[in-house]
Structure 1
Amino acid sequence: MERDVRALVGDPRWMTLPPVVRAQVMAQRMLETPDGSRWLFGAHARWHRFGPADGRWHLSAPPSHTGVRSAARVVPPPPAIPPLPLPAGPDFAYERGSTQAFVGPDVPEGITEGIRAMLQAQRGLRRDDFPLPPEGFHGMFARDVTSPVAAVWGTVMWCAYAPAFDGNEILLSMFGEFLARPLPGDDWVRWLPPTSLDALVALYAERMAAGAARAGLHLVRLMTDTAAVLRADARFRPRAEALIAMAEPILAQPWLDHHALAGGAVRQAWLSRCPPRLLGATLTETSPGEHFRHSLYDLVESLSFTTARGADPRAAAAALLAADLHGRFAGAPAAADAVNLLYAWMDEESRHQLYVTLTDPSHPLRGFWPARGALPPALVPPDRRAAAALLGAAYATGLAWCRLTWTAPPSSGFAASSAVVPFLMHQRDDPFPAGGPGSVGSPHDHGRLPDRAWQ
């Protein structure tokens, strides 16, 4: 069915059909699984599940068990077709990249050296010419650091799928001399908060508002050049391409955002330039709820290996989400409000699984919770790639629900993603540096940044 719908949407005639005709065509492609659930491969090239209780389609990762999938059958459309998640066309062209964390698989040397060269080129700039705005990055960097350094850092963090990095990652250690304080996390993992598009735009807008157009354009060029280097890695690529599409036109038309500066609408102007095929990369800015849905979908997919062990990846994902919520709120009054916000963005089954796991201490789904920082056997990843994907998806989901509920992410990481770290902390794929074993960055001192980085 996925192949059929992709071929259908890829046909140039698809976009010329009236919406009612497209709805009728898609309604003929509904599937029903043996449990009576109805599924549709629709918008965003992802599966949606019909919720009988509310009469809506919900983004939901499909069953992964081979027997269930092969037993699915096409069913006749109902007499009254509920609004369908119709593919728009460009959303099917969106390449999602990789959900792997930056723990285990290191950032390739070509990228780290490209970023290092850009940082080196910013040395000697005057703080008066490139001040840091009071919002965004001001408390992160030392007082003499200029905004171009923040622009490079902010671009790296905005483009990252899930900014949890190996504690000894070269891409982080090169920024050590500029930081005002250690990054959150521990010696093994730096659990970094995401950078918002607002923070990046503020660097440029402040200079333009101050009449320093050349400095503003320099910052935009630095962001686009940094993104161009980062997109060689699939963990950065989708958002890097979106940032280039939003910012690069300014370099050819420096007046492009002048109308937006006076009204403080520069962020909206940037987002309006994002092409339809890349809109998925900006969901965290435009719709935190949709972003949470997609992150949870990624988490379910990263747990697909549990199917062979008799587990349901969707139930396991709901249980891990419950573990993170329980660990973050620990029964605080704000917990109920936060969870209620999440319910609205989940399908009925996942919503029920989250509810019973949170409210019933004896529920079997709590068997998926990490115990003393360790994953249960059923959730232990089979290999390094699967562990990195699970860590990245779990951390991205944690950051997504924090953004949706206006909750500050924990500086020590979430329960689920933290429990994956032991499967990656001793596995590296970078070669020994020139100094040989024992040098900074070698497996023998893995996870520890040199002290001078924070001086």
Structure 2
Amino acid sequence: MEYGAGWDGFAAMERDVRAMVADPRWPLTPAQGRADAIARRALATPDGVCWLFGAYARWYRLDPDGQWHLSAPPAAPAIRAATRPVTVPIPYWVVPTGPDHAVDRGSTQAFVGPDVPAEVTERIRDLIVAHRGLRREDFPLTGGPFRQVFAAEVPSTVATVWGTVMWCAYAPAFDGNEVILSMFGEFLARPLPGDEFVRWLPPVGLTDLVDLYAERCRAGAHDAGLRLAELMARTADVLRADPRFRPRASALIGMIEPLLTQPWLDHTALQSGAVAHTWLLRCPPNLAAAALAEVSPGDHFRHVFYDLVEALAFTADTGADPRAVAASLLAADVASVTTDAVTYLYPWMDDGIRQALYVTLADPDHPLRGCWPVDGRLPAGLTPPDRSTAAALLGAAYATGLAWCELAGAVPPPTGFPVSGAVGQCLVNDRDDLPREPTTTPRKRVTETTSDWLYSS
């Protein structure tokens, strides 16, 4: 390797590891051989910290206590240019297996600014229209979180489409005029949480979605249960056209497809109540990262916080450290909900992020407090340069908020987190949707419903 002018150790080592893991011989190499190859490709920055590009095609940082943490690398060119390769002992879990490096990250953009493509919304509309009229006796919505969302007469088929959309979304923050929400308007029991501009929706767990299918099977209506599973797969197949849905949609299809050809697969799991776990076991290895929230809330928090740091990469152009900025913005959201959450978050952070989060929360005069939103708006230096960057930052910030709330057992605020709300203000005048129609416009059927229902109380 050349270490002269223009050397970027992180970029060079990432290219080297990616090429090595992509080699067809990599999965056939003994585990120790793979570990040794990765260990020889670590990097040391001028401050003595070691970094490694490993599992899930992401970077890891070695803390002084010997623990490796998933952590986005430094952005400053001077630091990246001053790195040197080193060899360090590493644990087995940071070594790429092969399939994990083929992970599809999709897009971290929220559904504010860029709308869901019309071809996706129209195909989802077709699924709703085709399944809305099925007998509620055959597809009852008996309980669970969907029962609180939908009116009493709504069949579980509609809830299945909705639940699939929400589960597949990277970050379920939607424009108040988003068509994919508006078409569900006549089925809802109450207005969705949020404000006139953004609907801050709670996450849907895989167990909640799977229970729609499992309830029918346990009730002896196995064919109805399989029809709901097929509807989930068909909905996910439509959603794959949008990168904000694609990774989780592909993972869901991978879990369901074997069941559709072998309908007896979940027989034992239905008796034991472990259906969601059984579905996760069927998730293809290269898509496992998309379902990480179901397996390890802590690791999921690490990954979405990594996304947040990457979404803030534009701040490096002003000399800021995206890692420190991300820690400060996390502190702003934590302070608005409960500072007790840090007890649950600290173990999942590297030492640098942990210290930045601590000092930002503890010292009102610390310079990192300058990153916090003021009067619902971001400081000028943190304003994203364009719509796509703002949408990506909004999605990553909201996903991070939901992730740390899940990890800490906190309740996400129904009006959104301060940071994602402030990022949303950057998109108010840069949206795809047209101004909503006057409220005097007669209501239409679900096939062409307006968004007026979103603003009623």
TM over 0.5: yes
Instruction: Tell me if the contact between 1:127 and 1:145 (Cα under 8 Å) persists in the aligned partners.
Output: yes
Query: How many angstroms apart in 1 are the aligned matches of 2:234 and 2:196?
Result: 30
**Counterpart check, 1:254 vs 2:263:** yes
1:307-326 equivalences under 5 Å are 307-326=316-335
Match of 2:218 in 1: 209
Q: What is the DSSP-based 3-state SS (H/G/I as helix, E as strand, rest coil) of the residue aligned with 1:138?
A: helix
1:31-430 equivalences under 5 Å are 31-52=43-64, 54-75=65-86, 77-78=87-88, 85-329=94-338, 335-336=339-340, 338-429=341-432
- Unpaired runs of at least 5, structure 1: 330-334, 441-447
Query: How many angstroms apart in 2 are the aligned matches of 1:224 and 1:299?
Result: 29
Residue 127 of structure 1 deviates from its aligned partner by 1.3
- Unpaired runs of at least 5, structure 2: 1-12, 443-449
Q: What is the DSSP-based 3-state SS (H/G/I as helix, E as strand, rest coil) of the residue aligned with 1:372?
A: coil
Residue 452 of structure 1 deviates from its aligned partner by 8.3
Of 122-131 and 269-278, more deviation after overlay is shown by: 122-131
Residue 454 of structure 1 deviates from its aligned partner by 6.0
Query: How many angstroms apart in 2 are the aligned matches of 1:452 and 1:413?
Result: 16
2:67 counterpart letter in structure 1:
R
Query: How many angstroms apart in 2 are the aligned matches of 1:116 and 1:82?
Result: 48
Residue 218 of structure 1 deviates from its aligned partner by 1.1
- Rate the CA distance shift 1:268–1:220 in 2: closer, same or farther, 3 A: same
Match of 2:27 in 1: 15
- Rate the CA distance shift 1:264–1:454 in 2: closer, same or farther, 3 A: farther
Query: How many angstroms apart in 2 are the aligned matches of 1:324 and 1:305?
Result: 21
- Rate the CA distance shift 1:254–1:359 in 2: closer, same or farther, 3 A: same
Query: How many angstroms apart in 2 are the aligned matches of 1:428 and 1:405?
Result: 33
Residue 83 of structure 1 deviates from its aligned partner by 5.6
Q: Compute the RMSD of aligned alpha carbons.
A: 1.9
1:220 counterpart letter in structure 2:
A
Q: What is the DSSP-based 3-state SS (H/G/I as helix, E as strand, rest coil) of the residue aligned with 1:190?
A: strand
Residue 180 of structure 1 deviates from its aligned partner by 0.2
- Rate the CA distance shift 1:383–1:181 in 2: closer, same or farther, 3 A: same
Residue 408 of structure 1 deviates from its aligned partner by 1.2
Cα displacement string for residues 187-241 of structure 1 (whole angstroms, at most 9, x for unaligned residues) = 1000000111011111000000111111111101110000000000000000000
Instruction: Tell me if the contact between 1:15 and 1:89 (Cα under 8 Å) persists in the aligned partners.
Output: yes
- Rate the CA distance shift 1:412–1:432 in 2: closer, same or farther, 3 A: closer
Match of 1:451 in 2: 453
Match of 1:443 in 2: none
Query: How many angstroms apart in 2 are the aligned matches of 1:161 and 1:286?
Result: 16
Query: How many angstroms apart in 2 are the aligned matches of 1:452 and 1:69?
Result: 48
Identity within the alignment, %? 62
Instruction: Tell me if the contact between 1:55 and 1:82 (Cα under 8 Å) persists in the aligned partners.
Output: no
Query: How many angstroms apart in 2 are the aligned matches of 1:402 and 1:321?
Result: 11
Residue 265 of structure 1 deviates from its aligned partner by 1.0
Residue 145 of structure 1 deviates from its aligned partner by 0.3
1:46 counterpart letter in structure 2:
R
Query: How many angstroms apart in 2 are the aligned matches of 1:381 and 1:452?
Result: 28
Of 127-136 and 291-300, more deviation after overlay is shown by: 127-136
1:391 counterpart letter in structure 2:
L
Residue 429 of structure 1 deviates from its aligned partner by 3.0
Query: How many angstroms apart in 2 are the aligned matches of 1:65 and 1:81?
Result: 26
Residue 353 of structure 1 deviates from its aligned partner by 0.5
Cα displacement string for residues 323-372 of structure 1 (whole angstroms, at most 9, x for unaligned residues) = 0000112xxxxx33x21110000000000000111111111110101011
Residue 430 of structure 1 deviates from its aligned partner by 5.1
Of 388-397 and 210-219, more deviation after overlay is shown by: 210-219
- Rate the CA distance shift 1:218–1:453 in 2: closer, same or farther, 3 A: farther
Query: How many angstroms apart in 2 are the aligned matches of 1:167 and 1:314?
Result: 31
Query: How many angstroms apart in 2 are the aligned matches of 1:180 and 1:290?
Result: 34
Residue 377 of structure 1 deviates from its aligned partner by 1.4
Query: How many angstroms apart in 2 are the aligned matches of 1:85 and 1:264?
Result: 32
Instruction: Tell me if the contact between 2:191 and 2:453 (Cα under 8 Å) persists in the aligned partners.
Output: no
Query: How many angstroms apart in 2 are the aligned matches of 1:366 and 1:432?
Result: 36
Query: How many angstroms apart in 2 are the aligned matches of 1:263 and 1:194?
Result: 25
Residue 8 of structure 1 deviates from its aligned partner by 0.6
- Rate the CA distance shift 1:450–1:431 in 2: closer, same or farther, 3 A: closer
